[in-house]
Structure 1
């Protein structure tokens, strides 16, 4: 019995070692399992974190996709707008090319100062006929001084270019009592014409004033005359005005004349003529200065029988001089003459003297001291000889035409001959003492 107990104890020792071993293995296994569980938990946390990150990235990408889609829509809209803009620009560019190929006939400048209401009326009249030929006749307003109403009015028109002449230099008149305005006007004209010919590089300029209306065929008339002006250097300028253009003295809207007297009041000149005039431009009274023989050097001016402008400027620098008698009754042409179809070659220097001599020779001579009464009783054209300036003034007074002379030349005269209608269509020729000789007419 004692021996069995001893043997049993011996068996417990190995069993203890086995138990301890098993416990150690279990502990080791549990530790490994715990480590693996910890790793699994970490991996799960990492996976969750990555998943969240991925979800965030997907969400951001979705937002970016939405933003890109919206951006694409905007870009598509912008592209459509740009395409429309490009088409418009191409059309405008093409129009500019067309405009460039369309060389302007002349710049048109309206000379203004401080009469905003007059300027508005003039611009309205010009735009009525200029809008359809704007590329041929670029329109400008040149203001002398700084009247705010005139400047605001001029800048309100998108169809024209505004120029402003500011002159602070003091004016010293040549004679006491002279109006400073005439000196300022002369300065303004020189500045404006220098700008248009030399800065803007136009070949021709038509000068209007801010108290004028124009006829329906104003621009066609000047286009036809421009060809003559370029071809015939004996023509110094072309005017739209006839000093004796009152209703009772005109008849034929097709009739044009050469004159030794500068008419002004809506006139066109070339850059070559301005090159000559600009360096010696006068301090004042520029229009009378242009009527001096030394300045037009034998050249003449074209004018119509029926005016292509009307001057409504009762109030201005000249204080309405002659307005009621000579300006208010002016007949402005209201017939749309097709000037392109007219043969104007008779107005060239080599043809006109003979043309004018022929119609003058055909007129009946009227003697006597009461020519107006005599003229009323004679059919057809008549001619009346005057001896000198005083005799001319007396005869002109009988008919009511302009009596004024400048530098030995009566208003509207050609070779000393003044022509006007009297009881139309009859023409009256007031003939100077040596006019027939100048025209080569003998024994008439």
Structure 2
């Protein structure tokens, strides 16, 4: 048993996922029924800047159609699947896996945890690598226990009638493998906490100690639902503190922990593909957040994979910070509890100097706090200046903290940040009304019938599962999509 503020049983899980040669490019669904937002007289929204930003971040061909009439689901970007040759993919994956297991074997505190390696499929090269570690570096007493699982891949592909989506091989296999392995860990093995990592990671020396120190937060604060070791904005160019942590409303994944109680809640509804996007839906997260470190405790080495291509890997992941210290004590973590965290953030923003966009980091003064207000339309340009992802990540209710050259920069969304004072907030205009169109009826035709006009500027306010559920039954839930017809009901 691993004792941390109570009796906890730990399980460590690494998913070894096989790529398939038939993996094809991702496409986004199109619907016949649009959700409309109407008001009188408003100019159309120019999404050219947003479109260019997605193209720069995801250069592989992607079926992304952005128009002035309808707005894509915010905070969403998807890459096309990479086609990897049979021999090359196997060698690449086993190389990643061997590096991951070697890094895992060096961790402090490994003897306190059980390690399960779950393999999807029957690839013998993958099995041979796992067997080598099973007999040596990861065998007890180095670990508390070690097991190798193999799932007979029975992919559910084609058109899924339940979700009305076409299941893409790579995304579907990965999501279905997660579901199977997490069921094994929580329901069959009965563990209370599970740490999930993937087969293309390196780990900081204090990786396990980080989870041990923060596990109690999941017990104390119901507004938290996971602990992650990944900072989406954790570039080496920022002044991060390896002792400090933050909260994020954007699910980070990549080396994360959850409790048994959470799996009982979300496991029965687990999607057949794109599980990470599903975790980021408000209808799944329900306002809950994750704790993550300022300095990353894992480092991604997977340049090729289901959700990765070389350009994105080099532009973002190779630039990430990576803690090299063995830290055993992180001090008092009560500042991460929701009430205290928000109180500190509000105080910071109230004392901050308002900064106009675009941001020029050369003008920042050490020791000062700056507040920069953005909208979804302006964020990609701001992000490009700072070198971060072109859609908000790592934010607490749409406030992102970035320590830059001795100063603190706060990025806040004028539409969606509830912590901003009234004078800085952007609200829906009076007279706005959301209503559904008839099947096959365009937004503009439906608005004309109501003697109103579509206002694409205001679509951001209804581009959420909560708003759509007010107008449509959403029998199978809500999903993240990109296209010139969203938000919509399909």
Q: Is TM-score (shorter-chain normalized) higher than 0.5?
A: yes
**Cα distance in 2 for residues equivalent to 1:433 and 1:169:** 43
2:330 corresponds to 1:323: no
- Give the 3-state SS of the residue equivalent to 2:316 in structure 1: helix
| Alignment correspondent of 2:181 | 192
2:127 corresponds to 1:151: yes
| Alignment correspondent of 2:269 | 280
Match runs of 1:93-242 below 5 Å: 104-114=8-18, 115-130=93-108, 132-135=109-112, 137-156=113-132, 157-158=134-135, 159=139, 160-173=146-159, 179-242=168-231
**Cα distance in 1 for residues equivalent to 2:382 and 2:176:** 38
Distance 1:100 1:251, change over 3 A: closer
2:419 corresponds to 1:430: no
Alpha-carbon distance, 1:233 to partner: 1.5
What is the RMSD of the two structures over their aligned residues, measured on CA atoms?
A: 2.5
**Cα distance in 2 for residues equivalent to 1:363 and 1:171:** 51
Given candidates 371, 384, 396, the residue that maps to 2:359 is 371
TM-score, normalised to structure 1's length? 0.70
Bigger relative contact order, structure 1 or 2 (CA pairs below 8 A, ≥6 apart): 2
Deviations 1:341-376 (A, max 9, x none): 510011112321102222333332212x43224x53
- Give the 3-state SS of the residue equivalent to 1:248 in structure 2: coil
Alpha-carbon distance, 1:439 to partner: 2.6
Distance 1:440 1:315, change over 3 A: closer
TM-score, normalised to structure 2's length? 0.64
Which stretches in structure 2 are left out of the alignment for 5+ residues?
A: 19-92, 140-145, 425-490
Given candidates 347, 372, 385, the residue that maps to 2:372 is 385
Alpha-carbon distance, 1:278 to partner: 0.6
| Alignment correspondent of 2:473 | none
- Give the 3-state SS of the residue equivalent to 1:371 in structure 2: coil
Structure number with larger C-alpha Rg: 1
Aligned residues of 1:113 and 1:150 also touching (Cα < 8 A): no
**Cα distance in 2 for residues equivalent to 1:347 and 1:176:** 38
Structure ranking higher in helix proportion: 1
Which stretches in structure 1 are left out of the alignment for 5+ residues?
A: 1-97, 405-409
Deviations 1:122-158 (A, max 9, x none): 111111015x4422x2111111111101112112224
Alpha-carbon distance, 1:318 to partner: 2.4
Structure ranking higher in strand proportion: 2
- Give the 3-state SS of the residue equivalent to 2:149 in structure 1: strand
| Alignment correspondent of 1:308 | 297
Q: Which contiguous aligned blocks of 4+ residues in structure 1 show a shift greater than 3 angstroms?
A: 98-105, 173-179, 440-444
**Cα distance in 2 for residues equivalent to 1:176 and 1:99:** 42
Aligned residues of 1:383 and 1:431 also touching (Cα < 8 A): no
